[in-house]
Structure 1
């Protein structure tokens, strides 16, 4: 079986990963490669594990800063033309763009598109059109995302939860009196809310992640640094694991309906309870076993959730994480792709 994986071209598939989407794709590659011939279409800076093949095209980083959609569309048009010519048995599309599904619809390309985000306006019309094709299928990473997308898709949306290699996050818990928050540093991730909530609880907070909005970091994060708040930079897997094992709780103050939240599972796998807002997929992923969710949508309620999460037993938290194993995710995708082809 020949499988093509399409990554969104904005960021390379390379550790330390810019976000959950890139980590998700990297985790698929070795699992798919054990059962199929795999080609990954991704940013030229990507590092893809052999024997999978990386296919890429020029990507003007400077022009992308000014015209992101134009540069990404040009890249994805080249991707789809190459896929059309090579004739894969199935395509697993993860690009947040209407181009792959429209091309799949037009050229009868067997395609499974994973919905990683809530519905964006520019994707709704293409989804409604392309989902009429018997060759184009969709799945969602949570029931929350599936419910949000269902009005725009003329097909059943299966749910395949994201998963992680749980053994890579296990280890002895050595808790210190500190909290941790990590992810891409942009306003939607709500690091400023996590900082304010941690201050209310009175526990030191470490934050980590790549800075993708410098103005946000300078205006909302920097003024708190050195005042029981520390920025640790963009950490790799081992460094994240070390911080989580030392932390009493992981805080996620996101301002949007988080589609899944791979970081929450990574935190829970180390025995670190999660404190977050009660929205998006957090109720599905975290539940009562893996942490505590805020009753309201404000800093005070997030602080209450932090306090409540501290009472969770680490073994219960780990047990919750074990609902999301990588093997189960990849097996479900391979089964789905076999039916799509």
Structure 2
């Protein structure tokens, strides 16, 4: 048997993202950050990628087609804006233009059967409750991809076809010695993300804390006002809606990232961002945390919130270089692209040829 490795066939991929943010996102946007990294890795590997999103332009290497002139951040999570976006996108999909559609929206798996091109759909949220009902109603012809084994275990009976971990682009600055700044919490200001637990743990450990969270939706604003705001003090700094540059600076300065989550987190990109800069993670043992953090090497995992304070004190012994190497080795954008190549080739139709659909108007890159 020959050991020769066959070259990967170049694919024409339609990448469909929600209409809430441009890619890459200027601030909050874990899904958008993942998609931007995946697109550029796929293009670098020789694939032809067309991004269907919202806005005037893209910072990715993909050809860009907009369903609306501006992102609809004000209505994030609402079903009608997403359905309108999908309806416009589906009208522009041609069987002669693409080999596979990669859908990252919530409602996409239900509507994908109308498309003339096979669809792979990544599930970015927790597949329970109403979302589980939507996914259970998806046609088996739509291939569902999980972003972690923990996410998949929540509803193992769904028609999953693979699990592909999210990846991060290379090139993030990495500190050479442990950070001496405050403990850092990053996330949405909601109870599931546990910013209140972060405050209690840091005060028990005698360590300062920076809370830097997304706060646009009503539920986030009310939680920040009613629960977190009264907890602020000289030892707890509260920030809202910071940009990427500020996020990176805080991560480089931080003693560690704290993830005291109360829910089954499907992934947790912020943990990758932290470890990539050399910042270890202290987290509760929920969701995908054990798949991302290597205890004792890249962070510490606690089973009970009362143990967080001790972990926050002990985590300073972790080597920043080991954290960054862990992300480079296991969670790179290129490794993510390899995983999706495997999925695409299994799901795409073979032997089609064609040109870009004439209705698709490319938009210039940044």
* TM-score for the superposition, normalised by structure 2: 0.81
The equivalent position to 1:38 in structure 2, one of 41, 45, 49, is: 49
Q: Residue 196 in 1 paired to residue 195 in 2?
A: no
Q: Distance in 2 between matches of 1:272 and 1:313?
A: 9
- Per-residue CA deviations over 1:75-125 (Å, capped at 9, x if unaligned) read 22222232257742111111122xx22333244531111121221433434
Counterpart of 2:210 in structure 1 is: 206
Q: Distance in 1 between matches of 2:176 and 2:321?
A: 11
After superposition, where does 1:73-88 map in structure 2 within 5 Å? 73-83=83-93, 87-88=97-98
Number of corresponding residues? 332
Alpha-carbon RMSD across the aligned residues, in angstroms, is 2.6
Q: 2:122 aligns to what SS in structure 1? A: strand
The equivalent position to 1:293 in structure 2, one of 289, 301, 311, is: 301
Q: Which has the higher contact order (CA 8 A, sep 6+)?
A: 2
Deviation, 1:206, is 1.4
Deviation, 1:257, is 0.8
- The 8 Å contact of residues 198 and 205 in structure 1, kept in 2 or not, is answered as yes
Residue ranges of structure 1 left out of the alignment (5+ in a row): none
- The 8 Å contact of residues 265 and 286 in structure 2, kept in 1 or not, is answered as yes
Q: Distance in 2 between matches of 1:84 and 1:164?
A: 31
Q: Which piece of structure 1 moves more, 156-165 or 254-263?
A: 156-165
After superposition, where does 1:113-124 map in structure 2 within 5 Å? 113-124=121-132
Residue ranges of structure 2 left out of the alignment (5+ in a row): 1-10, 349-366
Q: 1:158 aligns to what SS in structure 2? A: strand
Q: Distance in 2 between matches of 1:192 and 1:4?
A: 41
- Per-residue CA deviations over 1:138-169 (Å, capped at 9, x if unaligned) read 2211111122232122xx53111111124314
Report which of the two has the higher share of helix: 1
Q: Residue 305 in 1 paired to residue 311 in 2?
A: yes
Deviation, 1:51, is 4.6
Q: Distance in 1 between matches of 2:41 and 2:276?
A: 20
Q: Which piece of structure 1 moves more, 103-112 or 321-330?
A: 103-112
Deviation, 1:316, is 3.1
After superposition, where does 1:117-266 map in structure 2 within 5 Å? 117-133=125-141, 136-153=142-159, 156-173=160-177, 175-212=179-216, 213-266=220-273
Q: Which piece of structure 1 moves more, 56-65 or 252-261?
A: 56-65
Q: Which piece of structure 1 moves more, 24-33 or 167-176?
A: 167-176
Q: 2:317 aligns to what SS in structure 1? A: coil
Q: 1:172 aligns to what SS in structure 2? A: coil
Q: Distance in 2 between matches of 1:10 and 1:44?
A: 9
* TM-score for the superposition, normalised by structure 1: 0.87
Distance 1:43 1:276, change over 3 A: same
Q: Distance in 2 between matches of 1:338 and 1:48?
A: 26
Q: 1:315 aligns to what SS in structure 2? A: helix
The equivalent position to 1:25 in structure 2, one of 35, 38, 44, is: 35
Counterpart of 2:4 in structure 1 is: none
- The 8 Å contact of residues 124 and 146 in structure 2, kept in 1 or not, is answered as yes
Deviation, 1:238, is 3.6
